[in-house]
Structure 1
Amino acid sequence: MQNRLQGKNIIITGASGGIGAEMARLCASQQANLILFARSLDKLEQLKKELEMKFNTSVIIRSLDVSNLEAVQYVFTEVLAEIGYVDVLVNNAGFGIFRHAHEASFDEIKAMFDVNVVGLMACTSMVLPTMKERKSGHIINIASQAGKIATPKSSIYSATKHAVLGYTNSLRMEVSDDGIFVTAVNPGPIATNFFKIADQEGTYVFNVQRFMLQPEYVANKVVNRMLTKTREINLPRWMNAGSIIHTLFPRTFEWVGKSAFNKK
């Protein structure tokens, strides 16, 4: 379905780099109207210039920290007044810090939940009313395979992604009669700047780098499913198979995988 996104209003949070920026490029190539949010305004300005020059499409940018709920309300209200409605919201903003549970500071715990969970919920709440009125729209939440399989040193991060999946699954049922699609994206590790914060020692990246997904690949999978009734996108497939086995045989899976899980 070439140019299915032409003329559609698409908001992407965390759009200044990684899969957020790659999704923006792919959407722009289909002549979508882009609204890009991130904390780094200078990176957004560079991306806006690139997309407008290359694809001659409309790009609105705003600096936004999704953990700031007042800012979320203000920015979304301002943008909605300008564009009227949103066809697709991609909740991509998020971060993690890999530490043992007892080593994570209260500030780190709160920050991860504020961005990964509460911020995602707040952004979604801002676009749902008009989507419900129009009986149309798509909410795409970037979760993680960590939301299905918890591993050592990711207790807090995994907890946030479990929360995202719980919220996403409930929301999907809530809006099933409103013509709104709700999709969870569960990638494994992606080769982005995420790990500069999450894995400061570099141990995890060293151990899993041969399995890392490229951001262009993940972005392509997500954009190809925009405005389709897709429940989940799980990448890579073999890792998702592991989550299914974990659900069926959790004790055996954790025993067998213990050495692999302790590579962070």
Structure 2
Amino acid sequence: MSRKLEGKKIMITGASSGLGVEIAKKCAQQGAILLLVGRNESRLEAIVQECCILGAREVLAYPYDLRNVHEIPSLINSVNEKAEGIDVLINNAGFGLFERLDQTSIQTVQDMFNVNVLSLIILTKSVIPIMKRGNKAHIINIASQAGKLATPKSSIYSATKFAVIGFSNSLRMELAEENIAVTVINPGPIDTSFFDQADSSGTYAKSVKRYMLNPEKVASKTVQSIFTNKREINLPAWMNGLAKIHTLFPSIVEAVGKKGFHSK
């Protein structure tokens, strides 16, 4: 196994569940120093113990609710004071809720943008000065295929992921001369607890179960991209292909895919 992450300080948000856990475990196996941020404190403590067993050089946990965007700079200061640097930031935290816009509360809209977009931007802005002091750094933003091809009952979620992709593409050019790489990961549905909240009825999750990605495999692809110049990772390939076709022939794709798009 590659040990390119040995001793590297890797900050992961949304680290107490789902894809974040798998990414943390993969980094731990390479001897990284992990800086884990998550809402669920007890779950976070369990992940700390597991990552230590897997080989992490050190694991520090920071229970934090990213809806509280105004205190994020203070969070980064605390992390930096203790870790003395951040080499990699993996902005993984996020949530969705599949429902029609006219049935979605303003609070849900605010919360989703705070967690999926604003916290990601503020975290990134806060770590850049720290990363500039090092030799090489990497920012990885977990977006979604929903940020390339929007479907019904995901207008707000798709809007947040479109924003993450656009932000990442601009940021990559801004940091090109700073030796800070920027990669965006665009997965389709992943078999995690994400759908417990996004799709409480279980209808959508059931309809796409056969297409769901293995979280461990997505984590592997994500970790493999660290310290490379990879612009994007799109999973699965066929879904990314569909998004490209939609860009060229939106009316046709929406007409042909209408039944599937409305399966939520």
Normalised TM-score (structure 2): 0.97
Kindly state the Cα deviation for residue 226 of structure 1 after the two structures are TM-superposed. Answer: 0.7
Residue correspondence of structure 1 range 177-216 to structure 2 within 5 A: 177-216=177-216
Find the aligned partners of 1:77 and 1:122 in 2 and give their Cα distance.
12
- Considering only aligned residues, what root-mean-square deviation do their CA atoms show, in Å? 1.1
Q: How many residues are aligned here?
A: 264
Answering whether residue 88 of structure 2 is matched by residue 88 of structure 1, we say: yes
Which residue pairs with 1:241 in the alignment?
241
- Structure 2, unmatched stretches of 5+, are none
Percent of paired sites with the same residue: 49
User: Kindly tell me: are residues 53 and 133 of structure 1, through their superposed partners in 2, closer, same or farther at Cα, counting changes over 3 Å?
Assistant: closer
- Structure 1, unmatched stretches of 5+, are none
Q: Which amino acid in structure 1 is aligned with residue 204 of structure 2? A: Y
Which residue pairs with 2:100 in the alignment?
100
Find the aligned partners of 1:193 and 1:128 in 2 and give their Cα distance.
31
Which residue pairs with 2:258 in the alignment?
258
Kindly state the Cα deviation for residue 3 of structure 1 after the two structures are TM-superposed. Answer: 0.5
Query: Which whole-Å deviations, capped at 9, do the CAs of 1:193-240 have from their partners, x for residues lacking one?
Result: 110110011110111000001110110110011111110010001100
Query: Which whole-Å deviations, capped at 9, do the CAs of 1:29-57 have from their partners, x for residues lacking one?
Result: 00000000001111111111122133252
Find the aligned partners of 1:109 and 1:29 in 2 and give their Cα distance.
37
> In 1, are the aligned partners of 2:147 and 2:160 still within 8 Å (CA)?
yes
Return structure 1 stretches of 4+ with deviation > 2 angstroms: 132-136
Kindly state the Cα deviation for residue 132 of structure 1 after the two structures are TM-superposed. Answer: 2.5
Which residue pairs with 1:33 in the alignment?
33
Residue correspondence of structure 1 range 151-230 to structure 2 within 5 A: 151-230=151-230
> In 2, are the aligned partners of 1:144 and 1:187 still within 8 Å (CA)?
yes
Kindly state the Cα deviation for residue 133 of structure 1 after the two structures are TM-superposed. Answer: 3.5
Find the aligned partners of 2:239 and 2:233 in 1 and give their Cα distance.
12
> In 2, are the aligned partners of 1:190 and 1:214 still within 8 Å (CA)?
yes
> In 1, are the aligned partners of 2:36 and 2:62 still within 8 Å (CA)?
yes
